[in-house]
Every structure is written in structure tokens, then in C-alpha cells.
Structure 1
Amino acid sequence: MSTQADILFEPFRLGNLLLPNRIVMPPLTRSRATQPGDAPNEMNAEYYRQRAGAGLIISEATQISRQGKGYVFTPGIYTDEQIDGWRRVTDAVHQAGGRIHLQLWHVGRISHPALQAEGAQPVAPSAIKPRGAQTFISADSGMVDIPQPRALSKDEIPGIVNQYRVGAENARRAGFDGVQIHAANGYLIDQFLRSGSNQRDDEFGGSLENRLRFPMMVVDAVLSVWGADCSGIRVSPTGSFNDMYDDDPVATYGTFAERLNRTGMSYLEVVEDSFQGNHAGGRPEQVIDAIRAGYKGCYIANGGYSADEARRRIKAGRCDLVSFGRPFIANPDLPERFRCHAQLNEWDSASFYGGDERGYTDYPRLADAN
């Protein structure tokens, strides 16, 4: 297949950005921020710089507040030190010719008092303990169980929406090209969206209309800072990670897609399948159909894709861009490998979370063999 005929390398207009290819690096938690302070460092800047050949990089999940933190060593975007650290990253990516969005994150109930200010209890839409969910609270703690959260009061919700707004403003200060709202994988927005985790009896829970209220408040707050052209969102309609489920994902995410479409938000990334767990057997085609019917912006597909499957799905109109997670961990020059149909490096799952340069910035590039 020639480069000219390869749909993965057709330029694509995404909001205010012209992407040189349709290969996206998705948010990938790597747990290597400097401690204390949760600030990105030079090693992180080098990691992202190496992967600047992606059409778009979406940063690892980045907590918008101390309350939003759920794991040790993850970065934040709410202090000057963190903003300065992220500026190192964005400068490195831009100098290498890349484009990068920040993913805005609040974990909700997927936290632990040891990670919260003054040992506070994690928060959620409802006081439901996520069965089997775990986190790690220090370098040597091992995995520990998530405790039962407390339900947020109605009066607290505007303050959390404002955390997202401030996080979006701080992302602009840090030099990002835009932001992605994390509404996937069992974290706070996902907890409000899905019926299994949201059993409130006020205007923020119960009916689908009510469950959409908080997510759309966050969307409106973020768009007030960045505008629709520079903003996206990530969802995982059938993901089971962190004890998540929804009684009717077709209705929930089809309706959510319609609401997002009204805002003009530039892209929607969908975790169609996940090594962390998926209620659907393979890709949830009915849910994808519902999302595609409701949302007319850029659809980014995610979840165990090969380059060939990505080409087929794009050509079939099932998606516009594809994000590749674990392949990007192990292959800093992934687009170039796809371009010339080269063999991919295998990833080392033992070094996914935490550690040093090993399994992070030391994966070989094709050029290293020459």
C-alpha cells in the first residue's frame, strides 16, 4: 500500500488543528509525576516529545484538584508548579512539531483517604462502594481497596464544576492546544452518567435527563474557556472497569451524544473495548450506531485496534480517527511504523505504572536500528 493510498495518513481538520495523520495517542496513565507536588518533569517531557508524530496527543489523565486525585504519582493541573511542569511538556511537543490536548480528570469515588486532603472521604454521586476497585496510595503500598465514598450534596456540585473550569484555564496557561474531558472508565463524570453508580433522588440522578445534568454542566464550563473547536470528551459506554455498568447504554450514550452535538464540541473519543473489562462481547456496534446517529463531529475510536482494522473502520465510516494506547507506549514512532508496515515493539505491562525511564522513554525507534 502506498503512502498516498493510506487513509491513516490523510490530513484531518480537527477543530482549529490540522492533523497530519489520523493516528491519535490517547490518555495513558503512567504514574511518573514528581513527588511531592504531582508535577510533570523532564522525563515526562521527553516521553511526550518522542511521540509527537501522532496526529494528536491526548495527555495522561490529570487531576483538576486534590479531591480529584485517585492514585499516587499522577499529575495535577491546579498549582503553579504543576502548570510549569506541563509547560515543559507542551514546549517539547510543539518544538517537535506535535499537537497536544490535556485530559481533565476527577476520579470521584476511585480514591482513598490517604490521597485526600486531611484524610477526607472520597466523593461520588451516590454512596456506593465500587466492588473490586483498587488503587495504590504509595510507592510500596501495593494495591489497596477503595472504601465507600460519601454522596456529594447538591450544594457541592457547582464547586466541582468550577474545578473543571479552573483546570481548563490552567491548561491554557500551560500551553496546551486544547482539552479533553475525562468522562470514562468509572471516574466522576462516568459515575454521574451511568445508572449503576448514580442512584440519587434529586435533579442530578434517577432519570437519564437528570444523570446528564452534571456532565453537561462540566461541558459548558470547559467550553466557556476553550470554545468548541478546542475541546473533546472521552466515554466508555460498555466498560466494566471500576465496577461500572448502565442499564441501557444505547439510550444513555445516544442521548448524551445528541447533547454533545448541540454544543459543537469538536471530538468524541469512545472506548469501544478495553483490556480492563467490557460488558459487550467485542465492539458494542449498537451503541456506536446510536452515538454516530446523535453526534456529527469527529468520532475517535479506541480499544485494541490494529492499523489494518483502523483503516477498515475509517473507510467504512465507523470512525474518523483511531487512538492506539499500548502500541504507543511501546512504539514512540508508531505512525512511522504504520507508514512502512514495520514490526511493532512489544509492550512491557510490568512497567506501565510508576518507575523510571525503563519501559517509558527507552523503547527503540526504527531509526535506532540504522
Structure 2
Amino acid sequence: MKDQIPLVTPYKMGNFQLAHRIVLAPLTRFRSYNSIPQSHSILYYSQRTTEGGFLITEGTLISPSAQGCKNAPGIWSKEHIDAWKPIVDAVHAKGGIFFCQLWHLGRVSDQSFEPNVGVPPVSSTDKQCSPFLDSNGQVLFEFPHPRRLNTNEISGIVNDYRIAARNAMEAGFDGVEIHGAHGYLIDQFLKDEINDRTDEYGGSIENRCRFALEVVESVVNEIGANRVGIRLSPFANYMGSGDSNPEALGLYMVKSLNKYEILYCHMVEPRMKLMEERSECAVSLAPMRQAFNGTFIVAGGYEKEDGNDAIAQNHADLVAYGRLFLANPDLRKRFELDAPLNKHKRETFYTQDPIVGYTDYPFLEPTV
């Protein structure tokens, strides 16, 4: 029976009534040519929408200077707002709840995609990010030396997040998720392996979390706490973003977030690796789950069985699925029926084809 499967039980997230606990994780797809969301994204997102389902967009750039990769979507201009509207409408037409993930790459950037070619990307530091390697340890890309943000410049970046959140609401989104994970700009302030500042944004945990919390406060003041989530990965070391005490960092952040009464915290499991599926790990998100007052979402290589366990054991309220949801647009139905799952095609994750590896994964049965 349906009510015997924890992942497909209903859940009330703030003002949003969810029909199940399966979340579409934010997944970079690079199909938004020249930063403009395209019409093929209407099909991609609507394929993965169910009545009462919760979806989070791929990382969406908050400003021209937040760029650093090709064909990721933006949300800083009217052109972006107008391009997102039919995509959001398609998700809403099928009864979905849709949040826009706000993204700034910081030092993890290719200078050729910056608005002023040759100008260094900004970060908490002037330390260069280590090269991006493939699963065989071969260098795929070398990052440029970033420019350390001056203290008086940080408020301008905070304001970019605020404006992006307002734009997302104008495009029709139900809310926003602030991307504070995986070695991008906010994480570059949070982690002491990167952040070597000596001003009020560096040094202690409190100082390193200051930028992230200022972004949260600004976005909450703009669109309301009940429409704001954040994604964090305190245990991850993507792009050289390790920390000497990730447990303390994660706990400080979630306790601080309670002050703003945001809707949810989306945490990446410590077991998750960048290129592999996952690895087992002795540390746990449990202390952060217990400390946070809002909805708690977990992500990181989950399959059906451990997703059900996470809900049944109160480890999380919702479980975000990435590769499985990418390859199985009807993931909820497959979980309900215990049906076989399509295998993802990693080689098509980041290509620019509007169909292959994007909207051509088969359903269990033809859709209307």
C-alpha cells in the first residue's frame, strides 16, 4: 500500500502541502544558451513534476559577475524572468512546487565567461582553486587566480542575492534556495581551508558564517522566510573546500538559521563524493537535523531503500534525488511500483543537446 512507503507519504512544508517526500535536487544541465532558459526546459521540468511534488532548479546565476561556466541559466534580468515564466507555469500546471536555486560561482570560474573577459573572479580569498580532475585524476580544467573581495564590496554581493530572489518571485517561483554548498562563493567564506581573511568575514566560525547569514537575512527580508531554503555541505571538500571542523560549522549554521525561521535546510551527506556514487562515512547529519527547527532535506547518493529509511527513522523530512531523478522522470511511480530504474548516462550530463540525455529518458509508459 502507498502509505507503507515512507517516501510517498504526504508532508506539510510550511504553507506547501507536499504529496510525497521525493525532491528533485538541483542539477546543473548547461542547456540555457547564453544564460537564457530555453523552451526545451519546459518539457524537462514538467516531465519530473507530479501533483504536490517539490522541485528545485539547477543552479541559477544571480548576476553577470556570478558567471563562470557556459550555458547555466540566470535570474538577474527581465529577459531571464520572462524566459523562466513558461517553465514555472508548466510545473504549476501539473501541481508542482518550484524553487529557484540562487548561485554564485566565486573563484570556481572560467574567466572567459565573465562579463569583462580577463577580470579575475571574486572570492573570499586570492588563493587559486586546485585544478578540476576527472575520476582518473587527469586535469580537466585549471581555474584562474581570484580577487579577494574588499570588505566594503561584500554588501553589493548580498544585494545581488536579494535582487535575484525578487526576480525569481516575479518569474512565478514559489521560493528560492540559496546555494551555500560545494565550494562555490558562499562555501568559500564558510570553509577555513579557503577563507584566510582577517576582517570580520574571516577567522572564527562566527565570522566565516557572517556572509552566508547576511545573504539569508537579505533574501528573507525581500521575499519572506516561508519562501527561503538553503543548501549546505559542511563535510564536502569539492574544489578544495574542506574545513577543519565541519561538525561545528554545520551546527553553528543551522542554529543561526533558526533565528531567521527559514523554510528548510538542505544538507549534503558527508558520504557523498563528486565523481563516485558515494562512500560510507562514520560522521552523520543527525546533530544538525536535531538542531534545525524547519524542514530538513538530505541529499547524497540516496536510493529508494535508504531514502525510505531516512524518512522512517526521522533522519530527514524529505530526500533529494539527483542522478536517479535525472534518469527517471517518473521516479515517484517507479518507487511506488518497485519498478526497475533507468541508468543515468554521465557522458550526457553537461552536454548542450536539448534532447539527448535531457528529455529522452523513457517513462514506464507513454505520457500524454
**How far is 1:134 from its partner?**
7.2
TM-score by length of 2: 0.94
Other-structure match for 1:251: 248
Give the Cα–Cα distance (whole angstroms) in 1 for the partners of residues 86 and 367 of structure 2: 29
**How far is 1:34 from its partner?**
2.2
SS in structure 2 opposite 1:367? coil
**Distance 1:214-1:369 versus aligned 2 partners, 3 A rule:** closer
Matched, 1:133 2:132: yes
Other-structure match for 2:217: 220
Matched, 1:320 2:322: no
The answer to whether the 8 A contact 1:255-1:294 is kept is no
Amino acid of the structure 2 residue aligned with 1:228: A
**How far is 1:281 from its partner?**
5.4
Matched, 1:195 2:157: no
Give the Cα–Cα distance (whole angstroms) in 1 for the partners of residues 367 and 283 of structure 2: 41
**Distance 1:134-1:117 versus aligned 2 partners, 3 A rule:** farther
Give the Cα–Cα distance (whole angstroms) in 2 for the partners of residues 281 and 30 of structure 1: 24
Structure 1: 4+ residue segments shifted above 6 A: none
Query: What are the superposed Cα offsets for residues 73-107 of structure 1, whole Å, 9 maximum, x if unpaired?
Result: 10000111111111111011111221110000011
Give the Cα–Cα distance (whole angstroms) in 1 for the partners of residues 92 and 83 of structure 2: 15
Q: 1:178-189 alignment to 2 at 5 Å?
A: 178-189=175-186
Other-structure match for 1:138: none
Give the Cα–Cα distance (whole angstroms) in 1 for the partners of residues 257 and 280 of structure 2: 25
Q: 1:1-370 alignment to 2 at 5 Å?
A: 2-35=1-34, 38-53=35-50, 55-119=53-117, 120-133=119-132, 143-272=140-269, 273-276=271-274, 282-283=280-281, 285-286=283-284, 288-356=285-353, 357-368=355-366
Query: Which residues of structure 1 form unaligned runs of 5+?
Result: 136-141
RMSD (Å) for aligned C-alpha atoms = 1.9
**How far is 1:304 from its partner?**
0.7
Query: What are the superposed Cα offsets for residues 250-281 of structure 1, whole Å, 9 maximum, x if unpaired?
Result: 11110111001121111111110334069x95
Give the Cα–Cα distance (whole angstroms) in 1 for the partners of residues 38 and 113 of structure 2: 21
Give the Cα–Cα distance (whole angstroms) in 2 for the partners of residues 67 and 277 of structure 1: 27
Counting aligned pairs with the same residue, the percent is 40
SS in structure 2 opposite 1:317? coil
SS in structure 1 opposite 2:202? coil
Query: Which residues of structure 2 form unaligned runs of 5+?
Result: none
Give the Cα–Cα distance (whole angstroms) in 2 for the partners of residues 264 and 365 of structure 1: 38
The answer to whether the 8 A contact 1:15-1:228 is kept is no
**May I ask how many residue pairs the two structures share in their alignment?**
359
TM-score by length of 1: 0.93
**How far is 1:355 from its partner?**
2.2
**How far is 1:294 from its partner?**
2.1
The answer to whether the 8 A contact 1:239-1:277 is kept is no
Other-structure match for 1:139: none
Give the Cα–Cα distance (whole angstroms) in 1 for the partners of residues 349 and 235 of structure 2: 23
Query: What are the superposed Cα offsets for residues 175-198 of structure 1, whole Å, 9 maximum, x if unpaired?
Result: 001100000010000110111111
**Distance 1:268-1:277 versus aligned 2 partners, 3 A rule:** farther
